[in-house]
Structures are given as structure tokens and as C-alpha cells.
């Protein structure tokens, strides 16, 4: 794909939220080791504070409208911001939304705000037991077949909005950051929380397809919230395989991408304790499921001296703190269960 082709594709999106989002210096984190830490505040992108997923979905919804899609199908946890936003966008653009949610005892019987919003926007919600969740792809295919037999056309939005066209949203994010710095990327490191690996993959991809100065391309650190590093790297390689036919046969994962998987065992009680400490220490209120763990990983890197004192670091704040009540509820249930 030529630079002209890429630029044209980056224009094919439905306007969502308010961009560019702010770049803000985090003085409290910076003071830990003399590094310069900036926050890319995608939690302030607007439209229900959905965060970075908004960028990917702006391209996915544009493609869906171009292709005459009648039904959107997506998957996630009951607290999923992605499922909430897909439900909202489906209602907004006249599409029926089907949401496949993982049924898990850790969420209790009380309905989360995100799930309530999904239902309010008319989403058809289906809960999957653990054995069904492992085979959710087959369930999605059956749904797509059912829609097709009814005369409609369905689009599956995968966990994390991985692949194309969702990756275009992250490529545009990198382009935005470069523009905010007058045409250059001043960071030596970009830190991002990751669940599916999709955002981390797209950041690595962006560094290859955009016309960036090779001497200024940053290292990328993905802080895993659920999966071990080998599993995430395997998923990222699969995403590369999906985009090669469109973007270029030589594209592959680069060695500047690393994953920190030491934060996957933070249960609800520990999340709440760490969240209280981070709020009190740094004046930040991060999303406890994703951004909090990235803050903790960055805190350790700075305190241990693994980042040079002259480094400039960008922390991507991928979403707002919308799950605080659910985190507190699960922490309380966990404590009661162990007593």
C-alpha cells in the first residue's frame, strides 16, 4: 500500500468523539526517577468517555455502513466498554447489535452500568458459559448465518477491535501524536495496557507504515491485563498475518515491542488497594482493569532505574474509570468468600 492509499483509507471514518485528545505531563510520576512522563488522555475523547476503542470503531462503523451491514456482533465481559459502544453505535446508525458476553461468577448478580447501557440501546445480549466462551467464534458464525438467512448482513467486531479496519484508528492516533509534536515523535518509550493485543499490534504496525524518522521510533511496552507474554505475541503475529494482504507482505512484529505480563494476577481486592494508593500518591484516577496496571508497571520501571533519567515516556490512557463500583463490589465479594 502506498502512502497515498494509506492516507485515503485514514480519511474513511465516521466522526466520533473529540480529537486530538490532550497530552499532559504527569509531574508526580516523572519525579520518581527524573524521567519525563506524558499522558495521552484518550479517556477524554468524549461520547461517554469510551477511550481508545472509539478510534478503531470510527473506521469499523464507516466500513459497515459502506458494506450495507444490518447487524453488528461483538463479544466481551459484562463490564466491556467495547460492547457498550458497539451497542450505542448500532442504535445510532440503525443497526441491530448482538452482544456475546462471558458469564462469570466474579461479576456477581448485580447488573453493571455498561450492561444496563447495552440493554437500553436495544442490544440483544447472550451470556456464554465458560465452555461456550471458548468456542465463541462458532456462536458468532451461527449468528451471522441466521442474519444472512433473514435477508440481512452481519459484521463481527472481534475482541479488542483487532485487524483491519480497526487498526487504522491506532495508526491515526500515532499520526495525531506526531502532529502534536510538530511532526516528530519525541518519546523513547510508549506504554499501553493490553488485553487482546490489538492496540499494541496496531502501534507496532503504525511505526512501520507511517513515514517516521527511523531514529525517533520509540520502544513499545504492552502491559498485559490477562494473558501471558507468549500468548499475546502469538495473537499479535496472527493480526499481522491478517493485514499483510492489504498493507504489505513484508510486515511483521518488530523487536521494539515487548510485553510485561507480571500484572495479570491482580484480583479485585488488590486492584482496589492499588487504585487507592495510586490516586493518593499521583493524583491519577485510572481505569482499574487496564490503565491502573500500566501505571503500576511504569512506576516499577522508573523506580528500579530501568528507564534512563533522560527518557521521555508516553503512557496511553486508553479509557476512563467507569468500573469503580463493580471493582469495589467484586473486592467485597472476594473478601467475604475467603473469610
Pairing verdict, β 96-102 and 124-128: parallel
Given 108, 131, 152, which residue is the final one in a domain?
A: 152
All residues at 6 or more sequence positions from 284 whose CB lies less than 8 Å from its CB, including other chains = 26, 28, 278, 295
Would 112 be classed as within a structural domain?
A: yes
How high is the pLDDT of residue 329? Answer: 55
Q: Do residues 39 and 79 both lie within one domain?
A: no
The domain of 324 spans 3-51+163-338
Looking at the structure, tell me whether residues 313 and 255 fall in a common domain: yes
The sign of the torsion formed by the CA atoms of 54, 56, 59, 65 equals negative
Do 300 and 261 share a domain, yes or no? yes
CATH code for position 121:
3.40.50.1100
Indicate if 95 and 124 belong to the same structural domain: yes
Q: How far apart are the first and last CA of the chain?
A: 59
pTM (two decimals): 0.91
Q: Are 199 and 287 members of one domain?
A: yes
Residues, the chain, total?
339
Contact 14, 85 (CB under 8 A): no
Task: Say whether both 128 and 221 belong to one domain.
Answer: no
Query: What confidence score (pLDDT) does residue 331 get?
Result: 46
Count of domains forming the chain: 2
Please check whether residues 118 and 77 belong to one and the same domain. Answer: yes
- Placement of cell 523513547 in the chain: 188
Q: How many angstroms separate the CA atoms of 327 and 225, rounded?
A: 15
Q: Indicate whether 336 pLDDT > 50.
A: no
- How far is residue 215's CA from residue 6's CA, in Å, rounded to a whole number? 22
Q: Tell me whether residue 60 is in a domain.
A: no
Coil, strand or helix at 266: coil
DSSP letter (8 states) at residue 111: P
- Record the cell numbers describing residue 55, joined without a space: 478510534
254 and 322, same structural domain?
yes
Task: Indicate whether 59 belongs to any domain.
Answer: no
Q: 18 in a domain, yes or no?
A: yes
Structure confidence by residue, pLDDT tens digits, 48-72: 656 899 999 999 999 999 999 999 9
Domain boundary among 92, 118, 152: 152
Give tens-digit pLDDT for 224-278.
999 999 999 999 999 999 999 999 889 999 999 999 999 988 777 788 899 999 9
16-32 burial: b if 16+ Cβ within 10 Å, else e: bbeeebeeeebeebbeb
Domain edge (last residue) among 123, 152, 181? 152
Is pLDDT larger for residue 103 or for residue 138?
A: 138
Q: Please check whether residues 222 and 313 belong to one and the same domain.
A: yes
Residues 306 and 167 in one domain: yes
Residues 47 and 77 in one domain: no
> In the predicted model, is pLDDT for residue 134 greater than 50?
yes
The C-alpha atoms of residue 80 and residue 99 are separated, in whole angstroms, by: 10
Degrees (nearest 5) of the Cα angle 197, 198, 200?
Answer: 65
Kindly state whether residues 26 and 128 are assigned to the same domain: no
DSSP 214: G
pLDDT of res. 272: 87
Amino acid at each position: 500500500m502506498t502512502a497515498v492509499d494509506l492516507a485515503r483509507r485514514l480519511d474513511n471514518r465516521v466522526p466520533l468523539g473529540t480529537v486530538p485528545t490532550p497530552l499532559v505531563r504527569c509531574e508526580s510520576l516523572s519525579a520518581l526517577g527524573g524521567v519525563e512522563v506524558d499522558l495521552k488522555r484518550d479517556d477524554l475523547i468524549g461520547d461517554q468517555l469510551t477511550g481508545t476503542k472509539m478510534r478503531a470503531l470510527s473506521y469499523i462503523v464507516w466500513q459497515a455502513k459502506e458494506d450495507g451491514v444490518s447487524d453488528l456482533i461483538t463479544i466481551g465481559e459484562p463490564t466491556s466498554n467495547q460492547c457498550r459502544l458497539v451497542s450505542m453505535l448500532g442504535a445510532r446508525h440503525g443497526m441491530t447489535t448482538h452482544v456475546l458476553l462471558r458469564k462469570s461468577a466474579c461479576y456477581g448478580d448485580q447488573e453493571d452500568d455498561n450492561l444496563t447501557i447495552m440493554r437500553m440501546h436495544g442490544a440483544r445480549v447472550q451470556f456464554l458459559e465458560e465452555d461456550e466462551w471458548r468456542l465463541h467464534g462458532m456462536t458468532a458464525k451461527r449468528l451471522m448465518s441466521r442474519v444472512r438467512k433473514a435477508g440481512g448482513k452481519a459484521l463481527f467486531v472481534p475482541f479488542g477491535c483487532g485487524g483491519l479496519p480497526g487498526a487504522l484508528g491506532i495508526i491515526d492516533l500515532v499520526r495525531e501524536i506526531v502532529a502534536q509534536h510538530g511532526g516528530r515523535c519525541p518519546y523513547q518509550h510508549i506504554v499501553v495496557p493490553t488485553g487482546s493485543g490489538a492496540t499494541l499490534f496496531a502501534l507496532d504496525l503504525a511505526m512501520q507504515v507511517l513515514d517516521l524518522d527511523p531514529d525517533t521510533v520509540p520502544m513499545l511496552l504492552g502491559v498485559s491485563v490477562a494473558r501471558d507474554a507468549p500468548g499475546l505475541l502469538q495473537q499479535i503475529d496472527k493480526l499481522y498475518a491478517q493485514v499483510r494482504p492489504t498493507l504489505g507482505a513484508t510486515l511483521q512484529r518488530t523487536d521494539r515491542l515487548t510485553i510485561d505480563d507480571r500484572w495479570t494476577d491482580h484480583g479485585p481486592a488488590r486492584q482496589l488497594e492499588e487504585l487507592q494508593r495510586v490516586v493518593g500518591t499521583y493524583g491519577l484516577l485510572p481505569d482499574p482493569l487496564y490503565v491502573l496496571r500500566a501505571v503500576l508497571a511504569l512506576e516499577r520501571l522508573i523506580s528500579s532505574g530501568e528507564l534512563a533519567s533522560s527518557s521521555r515516556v508516553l503512557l496511553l490512557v486508553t479509557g476512563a474509570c467507569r468500573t469503580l463500583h463493580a471493582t469495589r463490589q467484586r473486592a467485597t465479594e472476594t473478601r467475604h468468600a475467603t473469610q
